[in-house]
Structure 1
Amino acid sequence: MDDDTAIRALYDRYRRPLFGYVLRSVGGDHQYAEDIVQETMARAWAHAAELDPDRAGRWLFTVARNLVISGRRKRAARVTEVAIEGREFAAPGDDIDRVLQAWQVAEVLRGLSHDHLQVIVELFYRRRTVAEAAVVLGIPPGTVKSRSYYALHALRAALEERGVTGS
């Protein structure tokens, strides 16, 4: 795949999720969010030979996050404000860690066998009971329990290898 095709694939796949993430990160400033997304894609173009469009999401979100942080620092350096003593204000939440962790979990889930993935989806994403999942999947409840045990064990091990820990 040539660089132009790779960048188009990245843009088509990640522009909307990136824009949504950046828009929340910059407090709803549409133009600034679009500028960040464009700069992120420009940096992706510079690294096109190294990026696989199917696995570039984490890299793109990290670049976008760094651009947002850099922009905040530049703006803070230009603005001189007097601190309000005696009051503390909550900092806006930064969802990038949650987003990156979700990407890693999704990648690990793709590595599960089809049978294990089906059980995980039924039990944890569709929130079915063991009995309900057994009926939907057409397998005995004991098999649902066994598959969920081994699937969760495999997920835990794969996530620990990647440094993702439960919080």
Structure 2
Amino acid sequence: MPLDDDRRLVELYDAHAPSLWRYVVHLTGDPVGADDIVQETLLRAWRSPRILAQEPESTRAWMFTVARNLVIDEARSARRRHEIGVAETPERVSSDGTDALFESLLVEEALAGLDYEHRAVIVHAYYGGRSIAEVARRLGIPEGTVKSRLHYGLRALRLALQEKGVTR
């Protein structure tokens, strides 16, 4: 870089770096990141002969636009989206199981309120993980009857749970 370009770069820095840095900190809230953005902005000005040929005062708008675009690019980058900056590693929240226990008690009460035929089909199919054919074979009833009892049993179960305030 010729001596004249060195002088122009120093002039650009002196004229714009402090206000550019404050602008970037205002946008990002990150003083360390602002240093990087200002450095990159000045580097781009140094690499652009057209900018170096202008007077330092006329490059201000260009530099602020470049800095703003760099801030936007950084915010959109994959690295930034997947990074979570925290002072301490957060504790993992684990469920104490109270809600699940309460819900299972409500479902158990609602199931107990069904007649035996409907309850048996629901328990075999949903809690036993069996197919319609397997439930029919185990209970010794036709598959159509299993489907019918499942339909009406689930309907009765839904109504019982609605009465307890569990579902809409």
| Superposition TM-score, scaled by structure 2 size | 0.46
Relative to its length, the structure with more helix (as a share) is 2
Rg (Cα) greater in structure: 2
Scaled by the length of structure 1, the TM-score of the pair is 0.46
